[in-house]
Every structure is written in structure tokens, then in C-alpha cells.
Amino acid sequence: MKLTMLSSLLMLAAGMVSAQRVQPDVIPTANGQLTVQPIEHASLVLQSGKTIIYADPTGGAEKYKGLPGPDIILVTDIHGDHFDAATINSIKTAKTIIIVPPAVADKIPAAGKEGVTVMKNGDKQTISGIGVWAIPMYNLPESPTAMHTKGRGNGYVLTIGKKEIYISGDTQGIPEMRALKNIDVAFVCMNLPYTMDVKEAADAVLAFAPKIVYPYHYRGKDGFSDVQQFKSLVDAGNKGIEVRLRDWYKK
């Protein structure tokens, strides 16, 4: 009886956490369905078949309760809204591969480097059947005092079931973003003064024309960016791009 009650309580708790999340989206791929689960700010979870990918997991293990453990963790940058060692240590499993840029690797103590794969801008690997391409993310104009300097962090392009998935990390509408081709799903940041404003984000998205774009990472110094304006600008420029607005800050 006690075990039954405990099991019921655990299921109820997991259900309550799940109810606080935005409902996941499902995108068809050549290898079956790709599930997109927004978490918060820059954090998201992708699932393709049995492969689970966490991008920039932060905020503690509670935010990921009820979700499968990660096969791959992607970290884009050294800042705390992207690299949260405590959260990573609480959710990783013995099989988790943690992909980080060199600047993040430098912040991981030697005892914690098991399972860590370092990728710099331009590197490509296939991990757990997923193509991973690390690309630049940085502020403009380039400056050694910029909040995000070129080469320090990684954006990522993932190849999943013949779909190309772009995760921008912290960046402006840099030439490397604008030159992307055949992107199926893009997660694009927009928050001043850390990355770029809505107009710059929309202009960059219109340049590389992903099939689907999610504005994410849109909480800035003075509140939230106007994602409705972003959608209006993209819709006006190219109705073939589907802008998906999701509440990345759901309470």
C-alpha cells in the first residue's frame, strides 16, 4: 500500500512539473518524429527516436523532472544562463556526451571532464547518429571587450533525420548566420543589450530563411523583446517562414 501511494505521489509530482512547461511540438523527419520541448530562456530539449539532446540546461534538475536523461548536452557559452555546472551534474547520466567550446572546457575541473567533447568554431562531428557542426556566435562590431567575442562560444547546427536544426546561442545577425543554407528549424535569440534587437533578428532570419523559426532567449536587461513584432516583420518579408511563438518564461 505504501509503495502504491509513493508511486502515485511521484507520478503526480512529475505531472505537475510537466503541466508548468509549454506543450512540446512535433516535427516529422526522415527518422521519425523530432520533439521540441521549450524549457526556459536558452534551454530546450530535443528528442529524435531514443536520442535526447539538451541545449544549455540551466535552472536545476527540477526543470527537467519527468524528461528522459540526456544522451547529448550542448553548451554554447560560459555565461550562467548557458553553462550551469550544477544543473549539468544533476541531470547527466553515465552515457551523456557533453559538447562544449574550449572556453567552457577551461572552466570544468579535471575531475569533471569525463564525457566532455570540445568543439571549436568550424568543427564537425557525428555523435549518437546526430551531425553536430559548431559555428560562430558573437557581438557586432567585433571587439575584445564585447560581451560575446568571436571564437569563444558556439552556435550549433544539428543534422537530425535529414533536418537541419540551428541553435543560435548568444549572437547578433552575423555573416555566418546570414549565410546558412537549408535550415529547417532555427532557434534565434533577441535580447538587448546582450545580443540583438528584434529588427536585426528578423532581418537575419529573412536572409537565411529557415522553414520554421522559434524566437527564444528574448528576456533582456529591460524586460522581454517584442516577439509579436518579430513575427510581423518576418511574415511581411517572407510568408514561407513559419514563426512559432512559444512562452519560454511560463510560470
Exposed (0-12), middle (13-18) or buried (19+): which is 129, by Cβ within 10 Å? middle
Q: What is the domain extent for residue 85?
A: 23-243
CATH at 177: 3.60.15.10
- Is there a domain that residue 87 lies in? yes
Block residue for cell numbers 544522451? 71
8 Å CB contact between 12 and 125:
no
pLDDT computed for residue 19 by the predictor: 55
Chain centroid offset of residue 230 CA: 19
pLDDT of residue 2: 45
Please give the pLDDT value at position 111. 81
Query: 32 in a domain, yes or no?
Result: yes
**How many domains in the chain?**
1
* DSSP annotation string for 110-161: GGG-TTEEE--TT-EEEETTEEEEEE----SS--TTSSS-TTTS-EEEEEET
In angstroms, what is the C-alpha Rg of the chain? Answer: 18
In a domain, 6, yes or no: no
**Residues with pLDDT less than 70, the chain:** 1-19
Does 35 fall in a domain? yes
Residue 200, domain member (yes or no) = yes
